[in-house]
Amino acid sequence: MTKNDAMSLLSSQTGVHLSFNNNGLCRLRFDGRFVVDMEVTDDDAAVYLYSRLGQLPAGEHGRELMVNMMRAHCLGRETDGVSFGLDDNEILVFSKVNLAAAGETTLYTALENFVDVLAEWADKLQ
Mean pLDDT of 32-54: 95
Mean pLDDT of 41-49: 96
Question: Residue 53: pLDDT above 90?
Answer: yes
Q: Give the pLDDT confidence score for residue 16 in this predicted structure.
A: 93
Q: Give the pLDDT confidence score for residue 78 in this predicted structure.
A: 87
Residue 58 pLDDT grade (very low, low, confident, very high; cuts 50, 70, 90): very high
Mean pLDDT of 44-54: 96
Q: What is the CATH number of domain 3-125?
A: 3.30.1460.10
Strands 25-30, 34-40: pairing is: antiparallel
Question: Residue 39: pLDDT above 90?
Answer: yes
- For the CA atoms of 64, 65, 67, 70, the dihedral, rounded to the nearest 10 degrees, stands at 180
Q: Give the pLDDT confidence score for residue 73 in this predicted structure.
A: 85
pLDDT tens-place string over residues 68-96? 999 998 887 888 889 999 999 999 999 99
Mean pLDDT of 22-37: 94
